[in-house]
Structures are given as C-alpha cells and as structure tokens.
Amino acid sequence: MMCTTPVGIETEWPLPQPCREKLATMLQYVNPRIGTGKRGNCLIGPSLPFGTVRLGPDIAFPQPNSGYRPGKALIGFSHTRMSGTGGAGRYGNIRVMPFVGKPRELSGPPYITFPATDRNWSRPTEEHAEVGYYRCRFPFGVEAELSATAHVGVHRYTFGPPSNVGANAEPVRILVDFSALLQAGVAPAGQVPYCEDWEMEGHCVGSWVQFHSSYVMVGASTFHGGWGHFERYTVYYYIRTREAFQQVIVANESGFIDSETSILASRHRLEGNSHLRAVLTFPPPSGHLIAPSSTQQVHLEVGISFNSIDEACHFVETESRCQSIEQIRDEAQAAWMPYLSLVHVEQGGTHDEKALLGTSLLRLFTMPTEVSPSPAPTRHFTDIACLWDSIRNANSLQHLIAPEYSADLMNSLLYTAEKTGWLPDADIAGHFAYQQSGCCAEILFSEAARKGVPGVDYHRALAACVRNAETPSPDPTRFGRYLEDYETLGYLTTRVPKGCVSRHLEYTYQDWCIARLAELLGEAEIAARFDGKARRLWNLWNDEAKCFLPRHPDGSWVPGVTPAHHNWDGWNDPYSYESSLGYWSYATLHDIPGLIQRHGGPEAFDATLHDFLTRNDKTEKETRMHLPHLHACVGNPRRTAGYIRRSLATRYANSPDGMPDDEDMGCHSAYYICNAVGLYPLYGQTTYSLVPPLFERTTLRYGATGRSLIILRSGNGPHILGATVNDQELSGTLVEHEQIAQGGTLHLYT
C-alpha cells in the first residue's frame, strides 16, 4: 500500500497568533491522567478540540464512559467515547487490540479473541500520556502508541520479544472488534432493567466489514442504547494498515466466517449482528520468524464518520495521510495550543495548580462533538451532554474567552430547533437525549445576548425559546416541558414523575431568562408574560421549613418530606434531581432578594447559609457550585473566599483521583478555572463573584477579539481587601460583565 507524500497543513488559529513559545506555555502543564481514577471519567487518550475521534484504552467490563481506569488490564483501544460523563455506557466503537501468539477460540460468541487466560495478561507495565499522545507497554512485549486527528485514530504497535517465551516469538496479530462498545453495567443490554430506556446499556444491532485489499477494510456498525436515549446510530469506518496483513479470520455471533485467505480474495461483505470481529495476522520480516531480540511495527489509520464510508476514507486521506505518530501528535498539540492559551498564567501558583488549570482548559473544549458536513454553512454539534451541566459555569466562561465557539454552539442549537421544532438540552449521537429539567438553552441564549456575544440572531433564538417553553410536548423527558399543572396551577405537582420540585425551580429560572432576552430585544409583551411565570418560583416555598417542598395537585404538601430528602439514586428522585431539597432551595438566582427576605434579612440569610454549608459542604456539584458565592451577595465575601480556597485545595489534585465528581462537559473544569483565577460567573446572570486568585498574574484572552483581561493579585491574604477594574475602585466583590467586557486590568488586593 503506497502512502501519498505528506503535505504540510496550516493550523487554524481561532485567535491572533502570538509567538508559539508563549502559546505553548500551558501545554507543558497538562496532565491527561487527572480525573481518570475513581471519579471524573476523563479521557487519558488523544483527541482534538470537539473531535469525533476520542481514542483511548478500554478496560474489561464494567467500563466507565471514559473506558479507562488506571492500573486495570486493557482489552483494546476504541475510537469513540464521551468525555467526563457518567451513567450507562455510550460509544467505545471499533476496538483494536494487538497481541502475539495464537488467537484463542471459544465455544460461543465472540468465538475468537486474544490468548489471555487471566485478567492481568494485558495490564500495562508502564504508561505515558500527554496532549495528543498515549503510550503503554504490555507484559507480552508489545508497545502501543496512539495519536489522533479530528476524525482518525492513528496507531503504532511495536512488537518486541516477550519476556515469557522461548527462543521463537509468535507471528504478530491485531484483533479488530467491529461491534465493540462500552458498557458501564448500569442496566445490562438484553436484560430487563430497573431503569428507563435512557439509562439502558447499548448493544450492537448489526455490522458488516469488507476487505478491499491486504491493507484496507471498510464497513459500518449500528448500535442503540447508552446514556440519554435508546435511538440507533451508525459508525462508518475506513481502516488502512501500512503493512500488509497475510491472513484474516472473521467471526460473528454464529461462528467463523469463511477461511483465512479466501476473505481477501472474495471481497465479500461479511456481516454480523451482536458480534463481528476479525484477527489480522502480519508476517514476520522477510517471511522468517522474528529473532528474540528483534522488533516489528504495525501501523493503523482508522477513519471514523457518522455519515458515510466515503467520508471516513476522506478523513484518512486528508487528515492522517500516512504521517508518523510523532507528526500527528505535533499537529494535535498545535490544534490545542490556541485553546490552552485562552487562560495564561504568567506569575505565581504551584506546578500542581497550573497542571489543574491547563488540564481543565483541555477538558473545557473536548466536548461536544463537531459533526459538520464538509462544506457546511455553519458548524453543527452533537454529544451535547448536557447544557444542564455546562450552563452552570462552562458556557459562561466560554462566552468570555471563546465567544466564537459560543456563537457556533448556539447556531447549532437553532438549526436543530428549526429542523425538529424543539431546542435540545441534550443531544447525543444525533438524537435528543434525556432532559434533566427544562431546556437550559433558554439560559444560554439569554446570558449570551446580555453579554453581547456576537454572531447569533437573537430574535430567532427568542422565538425558539418561547416555542420551546409554551408548546405542549409529546415527550417532555427529551424536549419541551411538563406544562399542564405548571400552566393551570402555577407549579409542578407530584404528577410529574421525577424531580417535580427541582424542575419547577428551573422552569421558573428559564422563564426569567426568556423575559430578560425579550426585554433586551424590545419585546415587552413577551417579557411581561414570562416575568409572570418566573414569579411562580415561590409557589412551592414552604415558609415553615424555609425550603421548597413538593405539593399535590390539590395544593396540599406531601407529608413527611424534609429539606434533607434525597434518594440514593438522585436521578430517579420524585422531588429533586441529584441534590437534596435543601441544596435546591438556594437555586433562586432570579430572586436572591426574595430568598434573603424569606430567611429574615441579610444577616439571618448569611448565618443560615453558613450553617447549611457547614453541615453540607460538598458544593462541587453542578447545581450547588454557586452556593458559596451567595455569601458575597449579602456582603460577606470572606466566607465565600474561605469555602472556595478549601474546595480547590482539598477536592482537586494533580492525580488520577484528583476530581470530586464527573467532569460533565466542562462544568468541573470551569469551576476550577474560574475560582482559581478569581472570577466566578453566576450562571444566567451578568455578574461575577471575585475570590482571591491562586496566581499573581493571569491573562484571559477574549477569543479572536484581540481583547484580554489581566488579573493581578497583590498580597497573599485569604480574603479580598479591595479591588479595582481599570483603576476604578469596586465597592465590593461583585463585578458586572460590562465592566470587564472590553478587557483591561482587574486588580485584587488580598
């Protein structure tokens, strides 16, 4: 197989290009191992910003959505996966595993596999990960190296002499599992689950492969299931090897297909349902057995598309182009450098703090997945999982430092809304996915418009938000709302099957955001209508409990429910989603004065909140992350600073176990970044809360605008004693977006 001569490509820079040395400074601190342990579900393998291919190692069942846990044996390297999400398994498609020796034949599906006889057979003896590159070494003498372009996984396997064999090594082989996918064990496929279809594990429902030569195989595999929905999606692939494989063995769920060499000669389409895999055998150099001291390499390029085989082939021909793994890694790092320079630490901070910041920047732009057809008038995204997560802070940070991406995301949402009639809150594998409240796109559009993010037709956005909020939905678990009781009684009742209180709170906030967008656009009637709906917030407030509590349709309170109520599986709780009612009772950002009043005034509210956070100190969860900053809203930023400093120091670390929860589409990354630089956004608002930065000098670059904000810290105290924006003194620790929108200098004195 002849490779075309690699041609140089221009790196697309989304912002003015300063010297590469300066852009690269945060790159050196990125540690992909952070958050790959017990929590986080973060990727250790290579990917590009918003790339389709997220290549990485997979452990044996049960697998997290990342596929990987440190210290576990590996079963191969798959090309698609979510980043930082939990729940039922999703993706993990087209898995490749190198091995030596005879493949092991089984008496039932999958009939053929690698020659493992114990779970430690493929536990890596060493691993290395950096931006755009992963390497590990197996005890059977194989070194695996991975890199990736946006749509191509690039593999290099070096087969050396195993340490546990005799004088003659076996031929080298590659197992390709075309039906592979990750399964977290939440609700095993094919069994009656305890949960709904949006939580069911996925499985393969059909696949086929065709061998075009001793170098090329193409095909497609269709799956359904995984977190979010049970809809089908198809992965098309084009696999090219640089070395010719000599023999092929193929098996499906019924047994072996054809014989070893006739497959290559026939070019027949070989099919399977739940199982389809092949073992490729590569001859030793010069047709002889490998000497014990020699090595042999096998290279693969695996193009992935959700549209067609032709597109997958196009990606291999135009993106990877038979380049070396080092060239692909360098191009991947060049693609990441503009994003890793959007927040630039110039002075202060420890190595670990910089590692957490740099790695958080990487994660902030890993998802969603761009699936724009080429050419396309606008970028289009899937794997938005979910706005419910990212809206808490990640989208707010992106409005500031990556407004071009924010506009592209919003335009993609509008495209989906106009195509389907509904705005998505979660869009996975090209389908609407489970909606954890209402649609947080309404918050996204409103905040972006009020912050002046350009490139979006906000009149179109307002129309989509109003339609989404007021049109009866045939399936409010995936789009639209539960409207009947909300519109007739003014609150969501226990007739809503899950999270009736938390959904009610979020509906009212989304309505307030729609009102603010309408107000900005001069649509007074819409603004007044939705302001009225936003005031429904207090219809579930129980003044005796000082908490929002569930009510029946007849208006009576559900007996025995307390602020501490929360089921162990919070995603299935009838009243509140993923947090207790006590936590949710501070989710009133559209009427903080009303909440303060109902607690007896600023001092009483401050004391109550402090007591609550002392007893419930895990605020590193999407809907809770703003709680410490509420102290600043009543003039006690010292408590805010104390909580945040303790949170960053004790809940995050430069290690595999260095995250307190799932990363969730940039939510934890933005939490760390914003608090670490001292500028935390209140989601859906135009206000930021200031806390003492970890760094003495940090620059935030505002995308391609040419503007930037320098954040300076003077002193090393635990609290902010004073602050200026462009030499104008602030009266407290809250700053409005318009004060920093043009950039300049924010000086914090501690």
Q: How confident is the model at residue 471 (pLDDT cuts 50, 70, 90)?
A: very high
Asked which of 48-52, 569-573, 603-607 is least confident by mean pLDDT, the reply is 569-573
Q: Report yes or no: 512 and 450 within 8 Å, Cβ to Cβ.
A: no
pLDDT surpasses 60 at 734: yes
What is d(CA 442, CA 461) in angstroms, rounded to the nearest whole number? 8
Residue with tokens 């996925």: 202
One-character DSSP codes across 329-348: HHHHHHHHHHHHTSEEEEE-
What is d(CA 83, CA 93) in angstroms, rounded to the nearest whole number? 14
- Phi and psi (nearest 5°) for 561? -90, 130
pLDDT surpasses 80 at 36: yes
Q: Are strands 734-736 and 687-690 parallel, antiparallel or unpaired?
A: antiparallel
Q: CB under 8 Å to 564, separation ≥6 — which residues?
A: 580, 581, 582
Neighbours of 191 (CB within 10 A): 9
Indicate the average pLDDT of the chain: 92
What is d(CA 220, CA 249) in angstroms, rounded to the nearest whole number? 18
Name which of 711, 714, 699, 701 is nearest 749 in CA terms.
714
Q: Which helix (H) or strand (E) holds 224?
A: strand 216-224
Q: Give me 124's structure tokens.
A: 């890596």
One-character DSSP codes across 258-319: S-TTHHHHH-PEEEESS-EEEEEEEPPGGGSPPPTT--EEEEEEEEEESS-HHHHHHHIIII
Residue type, 304: I
Name which of 628, 79, 639, 52 is nearest 380 in CA terms.
52
What is d(CA 611, CA 593) in angstroms, rounded to the nearest whole number? 19
The CA R_g of the chain, rounded to the nearest whole Å, is: 27
Q: Report yes or no: 637 and 750 within 8 Å, Cβ to Cβ.
A: no
Question: Which pLDDT score is estimated for 200?
Answer: 86
Maximum Cα–Cα distance across the chain: 85
Q: Report yes or no: 228 and 385 within 8 Å, Cβ to Cβ.
A: yes
pLDDT surpasses 50 at 715: yes
Q: Give me 496's structure tokens.
A: 């809503």
What DSSP designation does 481 have?
A: B
285 strand-pairing partners: none
Q: Give buried/exposed letters for 297-315 (b at 16+ CB in 10 A, else e).
A: ebbbbbbbbbeebebbbbb
| Calculated CA dihedral for residues 51, 55, 88, 192, nearest 10 degrees | 120
Average pLDDT score over residue span 169-188? 88
What is d(CA 34, CA 657) in angstroms, rounded to the nearest whole number? 7
pLDDT one-digit tens code per residue, 82-92: 999 998 899 99
| Calculated CA dihedral for residues 550, 554, 559, 564, nearest 10 degrees | 10
Average pLDDT score over residue span 11-23? 41
Q: Report yes or no: 175 and 277 within 8 Å, Cβ to Cβ.
A: yes
Asked which of 24-38, 238-252, 684-698 is least confident by mean pLDDT, the reply is 24-38
* Distances in whole angstroms, Cα of residue 272 to Cα of each of 38, 131, 238: 35, 36, 17
Neighbours of 415 (CB within 10 A): 16
Q: How confident is the model at residue 430 (pLDDT cuts 50, 70, 90)?
A: very high
pLDDT one-digit tens code per residue, 362-391: 999 999 999 987 666 789 999 999 999 999
Q: Is the dihedral of CA 462, 465, 466, 471 positive or negative?
A: positive
Asked which of 194-203, 476-485, 693-702 is least confident by mean pLDDT, the reply is 194-203
Question: Which pLDDT score is estimated for 268?
Answer: 82
What is d(CA 76, CA 67) in angstroms, rounded to the nearest whole number? 10
What is d(CA 535, CA 329) in angstroms, rounded to the nearest whole number? 53
Question: Which pLDDT score is estimated for 259?
Answer: 55
Q: CB under 8 Å to 42, separation ≥6 — which residues?
A: 32, 34, 35, 36, 66, 83, 84, 363, 659, 663
Neighbours of 291 (CB within 10 A): 13
pLDDT surpasses 60 at 16: no
Q: Report yes or no: 59 and 72 within 8 Å, Cβ to Cβ.
A: yes
Average pLDDT score over residue span 40-67? 96
Neighbours of 717 (CB within 10 A): 12
pLDDT one-digit tens code per residue, 101-140: 899 999 999 999 999 878 889 999 999 999 999 999 999 9
What is d(CA 55, CA 176) in angstroms, rounded to the nearest whole number? 14
H helix intervals, 164-276:
262-266
Q: Is the dihedral of CA 732, 735, 740, 746 positive or negative?
A: positive
Q: Give me 111's structure tokens.
A: 């009939």
What is d(CA 703, CA 450) in angstroms, rounded to the nearest whole number? 18
What is d(CA 522, CA 516) in angstroms, rounded to the nearest whole number? 10
* Region of residue 298 (phi > 0: left; psi between -120 and 50: alpha; otherwise: beta): beta
Average pLDDT score over residue span 457-469? 98
* Region of residue 726 (phi > 0: left; psi between -120 and 50: alpha; otherwise: beta): left
Average pLDDT score over residue span 188-216? 84
What percent of the residues of the chain are helix, what percent strand, and what percent coil, each to the nearest 5? 30, 20, 45
Residue type, 388: W
What is d(CA 641, CA 649) in angstroms, rounded to the nearest whole number? 12
What is d(CA 143, CA 125) in angstroms, rounded to the nearest whole number? 10
Residue with tokens 């635990």: 718
